[in-house]
Amino acid sequence: MDFELFRILLIKILLVLKPSQIESIKFAGLKFISTANDAARVIKKTADYGNLRVRVSVPQFKVYDEIAQFLCEYNLKPESLYSVKWYKDNEEFYRYVPKRKPPATSFKVEGVNVNINASDSKRVLLKSVGLKTSGLFRCEVSAEAPSFASAQSEARMEIIYFSKHPPTISNIEKNGAEFNLNCTSGKTFPMSTLYWYINNKKIDSGSNLIQYPHYKDEQGLITTTLGLKFISKPEYFSMEIKCVSSLWPLPLKVSRNEHLEFWKSKGIQETVLIVTNSSFSLRFLPYFITISVLICLYL
């Protein structure tokens, strides 16, 4: 085996590894570069091999039932393209070979539904995404002879499911000055976090909070429940008891103002319980909050 063939085979082996595994390796012109464009909520990663440069653009997250677009940009000059392949978690789901008729082919992979008519050598469009679409997506580009050079780049996408309903306050019990009640979130993915507030003061004391196991349905959507018990203070003429269900903050980097507003409008929901001895009033909350009101009069 001559050195040049050995060099090509070794490079092929290295390309099978994740970029994070070979970040410090530089051999025969092979190097990996990673950048994240948080403002656009798109992860962009670049890989080089000699003259072959590959960069993928993958959404950092998509909302359940949205479409998703992946871009694989490359520079082959002066060589010609042999194939472009897309993988999800190491399973190939799309291939583009310009010399074949038709050039584009899709393969069955769980959670991936390719719009073949809207996909080409540099773009792949997925139809409505589901929870099983989350994963690591990789684009591999190969050149024609004589070099047979190839390079790949990858990025991860997560699917988010926002609840269609505000949290529910239930099991309301009042014994003298003592209150006991539960708050249950709507179905979400990932799991939402619940918070209790009394007169806009967050309840952090573990002695006042009752943790319940979360429930996951057959689709993978999660419902959480948090109990609250407390003794009302005699100086309170009225109380606003509020439960907040939040998918914010998430373990995702979101920086621009319009994206913060997007998360607020979708990821934060409230239910307010107004308690008075004779009447009630409703304080209007910011536009992005969904409210349902339960009234419980002092006895």
d(CA 142, CA 135): 23
Let me know whether 98 and 198 are in one domain. Answer: no
Let me know whether 258 and 142 are in one domain. Answer: no
Domain boundary, last residue among 160, 192, 220? 160
d(CA 229, CA 208): 5
Domain boundary, last residue among 160, 184, 209? 160
Let me know whether 15 and 154 are in one domain. Answer: yes
CATH number of the domain enclosing 178: 2.60.40.10
Q: Which two tokens stand for residue 211?
A: 């943790």
d(CA 270, CA 168): 9
The DSSP line for 119-155 is --SSEEEE-S--GGG-EEEEEEEEE-TTT--EEEEEE
Where is average pLDDT lowest: 125-129, 202-206, 248-252, 278-282?
A: 278-282
What's the pLDDT score for residue 259? 56
The DSSP line for 5-39 is HHHHHHHHHHHHS-GGGGTT--BTTEEEEEEEETT
Let me know whether 199 and 79 are in one domain. Answer: no
d(CA 54, CA 75): 7
Q: What is the tens place of the pLDDT at every residue in 208-233?
A: 999 999 999 999 999 999 999 998 87
Domain boundary, last residue among 97, 130, 160? 160
Average pLDDT over residues 289-296: 35
Q: Could you say which DSSP state residue 278 is in?
A: S
Q: How far is CA 248 from CA 53, 134, 267, in A?
A: 36, 19, 6
The domain containing residue 184 runs over which residues? 168-297
The better pLDDT of the pair 45, 120 is held by 120
How much helix, strand and coil, in percent to the nearest 5, is found in the chain? Answer: 10, 50, 40
Where is average pLDDT lowest: 39-48, 108-117, 209-218, 279-288?
A: 279-288
Percent of the chain with pLDDT over 90: 49
Let me know whether 205 and 240 are in one domain. Answer: yes
Let me know whether 196 and 240 are in one domain. Answer: yes
Residues 197-208, buried b or exposed e (16+ Cβ, 10 A)? bbeeeebeeeee
Let me know whether 34 and 98 are in one domain. Answer: yes
pTM score of the predicted model: 0.70
Let me know whether 145 and 245 are in one domain. Answer: no
Helix (H, G, I), strand (E, B) or coil at 267: helix
pLDDT band at 24 (very low <50, low <70, confident <90, very high): very low
What's the pLDDT score for residue 274? 78
Question: How many structural domains are present in the chain?
Answer: 2
pLDDT band at 61 (very low <50, low <70, confident <90, very high): confident
Residue entry with tokens 């390719």 = 114
Let me know whether 19 and 146 are in one domain. Answer: yes
Let me know whether 58 and 121 are in one domain. Answer: yes
Let me know whether 121 and 76 are in one domain. Answer: yes
Let me know whether 113 and 150 are in one domain. Answer: yes
Percent of the chain with pLDDT over 70: 67
pLDDT band at 261 (very low <50, low <70, confident <90, very high): low
